[in-house]
């Protein structure tokens, strides 16, 4: 069932409204309707948002809410909501709260019993993941990488054994240093995707083993420009890549007669290996 209603009847509401991350065509119809009909738009940078609003011919008043004043101004906005005004929260680009302001405001609204309604829309992490070719069944968004090398290396050590895809935001002036630190901790074979300038003219996806990706980015300064997302393939147990032929042959024979789980458990017992590793190998390699 669909419901085309934009504003709930007379209930003061904070709307979380994503805006495009490059291509203005990615604004949603509902975002335009909400931004046009609320009493006030809380924006990270009112001049930046002003340009977006004038492009869509939206006249709504704006109010500055950014990292430096959010704790203090969130209370002012909650009071306006409690007085009956409806407010939309936007950031400069993408989904508010995702490496952007809004967390304090949403928390305060929840505490005060104000209704909070999220609109789905553009977000660089999801956009990058969806086309990266990396496993998307489990992933974590790790936000911006730390600015200093020590912090970055600690972060890479923390995720080194994680099996999920890990996703980072990075800025152009740090990309080479970050890839260098990553190479030191995760090694040259880890598959990494650099997604740049999503939804824009020079959108680029490059997925390579880390050693090769570092050299590719180093050799071409264009690849160090613009907005970027780094996606790191999860850790793969070494045993998955290097199971002896005898083990895989046994597993294949057993799995013809038994469910894979059972076959993997038996083969693991015979060869004194981990059954989960054999089971995963079977899932990836056997029909």
CA pair distance 35, 58, nearest whole angstrom:
7
- Beta carbon of residue 8, minimum distance to ligand SAM (angstroms, whole number): 25
Nearest approach, Cβ of 99 to ligand SAM (angstroms)?
A: 4
Q: What is the C-alpha separation between 74 and 287, in angstroms, rounded?
A: 56
DSSP class of 92? S
Report, in Å, the least distance between residue 101 CB and ligand SAM. 9
DSSP summary character for residue 94: B
Applying CB under 6 A, the residues found at the interface with ligand SAM are 21-22, 91, 93-95, 98-100, 123-125, 169-171, 195-200, 227-229
DSSP letter string over 193-261? EEEESTTSTT-EEEEEEHHHHHHHHHH-GGGGSS-EEEEEPPP--HHHH---HHHHHHHHHHHHHS-HH
Of 22 and 282, nearer to ligand SAM (C-beta) is 22
Provide, rounded to whole angstroms, the least separation between the CB of residue 179 and ligand SAM: 14
Least distance in angstroms from the C-beta of 148 to ligand SAM:
17
Tell me whether residue 33 or residue 45 sits nearer to ligand SAM (CB atom): 45
Please, which residue, 34 or 229, has the CB nearer to ligand SAM?
Answer: 229
Of 67 and 163, CB closest to ligand SAM: 67
The residue nearest ligand SAM at its CB is: 94
Q: Which is nearer to ligand SAM, 21 or 31 (CB)?
A: 21
What is the Cα–Cα distance from 71 to 105, expressed in whole angstroms? Answer: 8
For the chain, give the longest Cα–Cα distance.
Answer: 73
């Amino acid at each position: 069932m669909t419901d085309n209603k934009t504003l709930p009847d007379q209930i003061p509401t904070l709307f979380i409204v994503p805006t495009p991350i490059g291509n203005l065509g990615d604004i949603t119809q509902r975002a335009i309707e909400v931004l046009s009909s609320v009493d006030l738009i809380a924006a990270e940078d009112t001049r930046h948002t002003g340009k977006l609003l004038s492009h869509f011919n939206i006249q709504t008043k704006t109010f500055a809410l950014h990292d430096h004043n959010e704790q203090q101004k969130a209370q002012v906005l909650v009071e306006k909501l409690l007085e009956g005004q409806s407010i939309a929260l936007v950031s400069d680009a993408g989904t508010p709260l995702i490496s952007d302001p809004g967390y304090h405001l949403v928390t305060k609204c929840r505490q005060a019993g104000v209704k909070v309604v999220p609109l789905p829309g553009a977000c660089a992490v999801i956009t990058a993941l969806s086309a990266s070719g990396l496993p998307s069944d489990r992933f974590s968004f790790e936000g911006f990488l730390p600015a200093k090398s020590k912090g970055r290396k600690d972060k890479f050590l923390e995720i080194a054994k994680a099996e999920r895809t890990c996703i980072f935001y990075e800025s152009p002036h740090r990309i080479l240093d970050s890839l260098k630190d990553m190479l030191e901790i995760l090694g040259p074979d880890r598959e990494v995707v650099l997604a740049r300038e999503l939804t824009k003219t020079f959108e680029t996806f490059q997925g390579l083993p880390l050693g090769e990706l570092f050299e590719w980015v180093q050799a071409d300064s264009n690849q160090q420009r613009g907005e970027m997302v780094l996606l790191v393939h999860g850790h793969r147990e070494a045993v998955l890549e290097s199971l002896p032929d005898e083990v895989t042959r046994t597993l294949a024979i057993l799995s013809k007669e038994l469910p894979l789980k059972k076959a993997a458990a038996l083969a693991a017992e015979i060869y004194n290996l981990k059954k989960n590793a054999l089971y995963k190998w079977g899932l990836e390699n056997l029909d």
